[in-house]
Amino acid sequence: MGTQTNEVIAVAIDFGTTYSAVAFAQLNVENPIPIQIGDWPGQVAGGTSYAVPTVVVYPDKGGPSVWGFEAENSEDKLYPKFRIFKPFIEPSSMIHYRTPPGITLKDVVHDYIQGLYDHLIEHITGKRIYSPNNTKLDILLTVPAAYSNSTVENFRRIVATTGIGNHTFGVRLTEPEAAALYTVESMGLKRPEDIPSWKKNDCFIVCDAGGGTVDIASYTVLRLNPSIQVAHTGVISGSYCGSTIIDREFTSYIKQEIADNAKTRPLIERLNKDFIIEKERFNNSLDEESFHIFFGNKDQLKGVFGDEKIKLELKNGYLSISRTQMHGFFAKSLNETKGLLANHIKQCAAGGYRVGAIFLVGGLGSSPYTKQQVEDYAQEIDFEIRVYQPPDAQQAVVRGALTKQIQMLKELEDPVQSRLCRKHYGLVTMKPFSETTHFDYERYVDPLTGNVLAKNQIEWLIRKNESFSGANEKCIEKVFKRDFLPSKLGYRWKEVIVECSHDNPPFRVEPGVTQVCTLVPDLTSCQVREFEKIKKKKGNPFAFKSSKYYHARYKIKIFIGSVGVRSEMFYRDEPRPDLMAVLWPETEEKKENDERSN
C-alpha cells in the first residue's frame, strides 16, 4: 500500500556563478509564506546570509567535499577552491575547466548541488515541516538565458543524480524571467511618487546582472486590475558578462605585476576577495579618488617573495587603486551590458513600445556604479527612461522563482500572459524534389515508394519572436508517417530538431542552423501486424523490388519554451515514453566515438 502524501513544499533554487540561494513555501495553507534559507554550514555564528558561496573544495587525503561557506573560509591544505564553474556546464566547455585527477566538473557541480539539497532537507526537517513519508517536495531550478538547449539538458542530468532527483523537479525558468516576476510582485509596478503611475501599454526592462551572466527581458503592461498582467515585448537575451569579468580584469592586472605560482596564489586570492568588497561599494564619488587594499606587511611579503623586488607601488603595505583604474575594470562588463539593453530598447521600439523603466537586479545590478552607468546610457537613448533597483535586488531570482513555483503548483493565474519564442525551431525533413528550388546533391529516391525527394530540408515549427500564451512553453503536435520493410535490426527512425537565430531562417540545413537534439522513435518491440501493410504500385522504375512494405504512424509532442526543448512520444494515441530515446549532440558524439573505439 502506497504512502499517503499530505504536505507539499514548493522549493526554488538559484544556482549562481558566485553565490546561490534556496527558498521554499508550504502549499497546504491558504496563503503560502515564502521563506528563504539564511543560515548555512560554516557561516559566522549569529549571522544571516540569504546567499551561499558557490565554491567546492576537496581534502588532500580524500573524504567528502566541502562546499559553501565552509569551502570559502577553509584555510587547510586543500586542492584549489573550485569556483566559477557554472559557465562551464556547456558540454563543449567542460573539458576546459581544470580539475585534479579523479575529479570531473560534473563531480564538482553534483557535489555542490547535493550540498544545497542536504542542507535544505536538514533545514526543513529541523523546522518540523518535512517528513520523507508524508511530504512531497516540488523543486524548480533556474538557468541563465545564455544557456543553450544542450547545456540546460546537461545541467538537468547532473541535478537528477543528486538527492533532488528523488523528488519532482524541473529546470523550466530563466533567471531574467524569475527576476521579472519578483520585480512585478515586489514593486507592484508602482513608480516613485515623482513619476507618473503605470498604465496599460507601458513598457519596462528587467536586467538581471549577476556574477556570471547578464540576462535581459522586456515586458509590456497589459492590465493593472484586478491583478497585474504583462507580456514579453522583446526576446529574452543574455551574455557571459557578469561581475566575474570585473574580478578577472583586476586579477589580470595583479598577475601582470607579480608571478602566478603556488606561493603567490593565496595572496592573489585574498587580494581578489578584498577587491570584491571595494567593487561592490564603488559609487564613482569624486570625493574618493583612490581605494586601498591591504597587500601585506614586510614579514608577510618576505615570506612570499623573498628578496625579489615587487613592481607594484605599495604604501605602508597597501595597494592603491585609482578611480580611473576602477572604471577600466568595470568597462568590459558594462559595455556589453549596455549593448544588451540597447538591443531590447530597439526591439521594443520596433513593436511600437517606448521603454519607460529599467529594473536592475542581481549582484552586479545592485552596484551603485552599475546604476549610474546604466542611467547615463539610458538617458542618451531616451531621457524619459528611469532606472530602479528594487528592494533586495540580489535575491530577485530565487524569490521570483518561488513565486512562479507557487503559481504553477496552485494553478494560479500567470501574470505573464504571453511569451516570445527566442529562436526558430524546426525539424529536418524530406520534401518533394523540385528542379527549380532544390540542388542536385539534395536529390533522394525513396527505395520503397520510388518517390523523388529533396533531403535535408527544414520544416519550421515555430518562428523567432512568435508569441505563445497560456504556459511557459508552446506545444506542437506532429504526426509522423514512416514506411519500412520488416528487419531483424528493428524499426527505428531519427527525427532531428534544429534551431536558428537568423531573422530569416533557411529552408535547408546550412551554416547558421544548429542541431538541438535527435528524437529516436523505436517501434522494434511492437508487433508487425500492428502496422498497415502497403502493396507497391506497379511500374515505378525507382521502387525497391519487394511487392509490399509496412506503414507506421506515431505522434510526437514537442514543447518549446524559454528554457530548453522537451518531447513526448505517442503511439496508437497512448503516451509511450518507452518507445523513444532523445540524443543530445554530445551524447551522439560520444556514442560514435565509442563505436569507433570498439
Mean pLDDT of the chain: 88
The rounded distance, in Å, linking the Cα atoms of 310 and 271 is 15
Residue with the bigger pLDDT between 516 and 594: it is 516
Angle, to 10 degrees, between the axis of helix 323-350 and the axis of helix 265-281? 60
The one-character DSSP state at 14 is E
Q: Above 60 in pLDDT, residue 51? A: yes
> Can you list the positions of beta strands (E) in 337-423?
355-361, 386-388, 416-420
- 422: closest CA among 216, 220, 119? 216
Confidence of residue 598 (pLDDT cuts 50, 70, 90): very low
Least confident window among 312-316, 440-444, 456-460, 543-547: 543-547
User: What integer is the mean pLDDT of 394-421?
Assistant: 91
Give the alpha-carbon dihedral of 498, 501, 507, 511, to 10 degrees: -80
What are the grid coordinates assigned to 279, written together? 567593487
Q: Above 70 in pLDDT, residue 541? A: no
Confidence of residue 576 (pLDDT cuts 50, 70, 90): very high
402 within 8 A of 27, measured Cβ to Cβ = no
Count other C-beta atoms under 10 Å from residue 102's C-beta: 8
- The per-residue pLDDT for 188 is 57
User: What integer is the mean pLDDT of 312-327?
Assistant: 89
557-568 pLDDT per residue, tens: 999 988 889 999
By three-state DSSP, how is residue 501 classified? coil
Confidence of residue 3 (pLDDT cuts 50, 70, 90): very low
The rounded distance, in Å, linking the Cα atoms of 372 and 259 is 35
Q: Which residues contact 202 (CB under 8 A, 6 or more apart)?
A: 220, 221, 356
Q: Above 90 in pLDDT, residue 301? A: no
Q: Above 60 in pLDDT, residue 275? A: yes
The rounded distance, in Å, linking the Cα atoms of 361 and 210 is 8
Confidence of residue 597 (pLDDT cuts 50, 70, 90): very low
CA 335, 338, 343, 344 torsion: positive or negative?
positive
Q: Above 50 in pLDDT, residue 594? A: no
Least confident window among 116-125, 405-414, 420-429: 405-414
Homologous superfamily, domain 7-174? ATPase, nucleotide binding domain (3.30.420.40)
Phi, psi of 88 (to 5 degrees): -95, 10
The rounded distance, in Å, linking the Cα atoms of 366 and 227 is 28
User: What integer is the mean pLDDT of 432-438?
Assistant: 95
Which class for 387: exposed (0-12), middle (13-18), buried (19 or more C-beta within 10 A)? buried
Q: Is 459 left (phi over 0), alpha (psi -120 to 50) or beta?
A: beta
- The per-residue pLDDT for 87 is 92
- The per-residue pLDDT for 297 is 81
What are the grid coordinates assigned to 125, written together? 526537517
Least confident window among 137-151, 290-304, 348-362: 290-304
Instruction: Tell me what percent of the residues of the chain surpass a pLDDT of 90.
Output: 63
| Residue extents of the structural domains in the chain | 7-174, 421-597
- 204: closest CA among 213, 195, 503? 195
- The per-residue pLDDT for 225 is 79
188-230 pLDDT per residue, tens: 555 555 455 678 899 999 999 999 999 999 999 998 877 788 9
The rounded distance, in Å, linking the Cα atoms of 465 and 419 is 9
Confidence of residue 287 (pLDDT cuts 50, 70, 90): confident
- 349: closest CA among 234, 248, 451, 209? 234
The rounded distance, in Å, linking the Cα atoms of 198 and 117 is 40
Confidence of residue 349 (pLDDT cuts 50, 70, 90): very high
The rounded distance, in Å, linking the Cα atoms of 200 and 223 is 6
By three-state DSSP, how is residue 102 classified? coil
Confidence of residue 593 (pLDDT cuts 50, 70, 90): very low
Confidence of residue 456 (pLDDT cuts 50, 70, 90): very high
Give the alpha-carbon dihedral of 357, 362, 367, 373, to 10 degrees: -40
78-115 pLDDT per residue, tens: 567 899 999 999 888 888 888 888 889 999 999 999 99
